[in-house]
Structure 1
């Protein structure tokens, strides 16, 4: 049986997932594949930025997004009294 609290919790959770997965898609697919030529005109530390996103940037962003999701879910659990 779903309560309004349960529905609000999952609605917020799905919103977090959609936002974070969109960020990951932008970084890994758009920056690493679609806009690679435009980003390669910029150099960071001697490497082309498009190459960096394709090889390492998307992995770093993915790991950061995992920690962001953990933090957001801990806050959400506390808000809905599910942190026990």
Structure 2
């Protein structure tokens, strides 16, 4: 793999990681901590949304982010010809 291709691959990889970390930070910090009082005004299944996000929503989001990362990295690997 040439240097330009490696740099493009690395840029795409770090951009994906950055974007997923932004989502992770929004869910875990903003929705689960900073906006918990405002979200508690809404209810899901009888529980306040802020509580639900802190307990269940964050965990579900993290699991989804792992799958998104794996799928997107597989696409990047194929695009740039990285063999496993």
TM above 0.5, yes or no, is: yes
Offset at residue 35 of structure 1 (A): 0.2
Q: Deviations over 1:22-66 (max 9, x none)?
A: 001000110000000000000011010000111111111000000
Aligned to 1:23: 23
Q: Is the Cα–Cα contact under 8 Å of residues 32 and 50 in structure 1 kept in the other structure?
A: yes
* Stretches of 4+ aligned residues off by more than 3 angstroms: none
Q: Structure 2 stretches of 5 or more lacking a match? A: none
Q: Structure 1, unaligned stretches of length 5 or more?
A: none
Instruction: Supply the RMSD in Å over aligned alpha carbons.
Output: 1.0
Where 2:83 maps in the other structure, the secondary structure is: coil
- TM-score, length basis structure 1: 0.95
Q: TM-score, normalised by structure 2?
A: 0.95
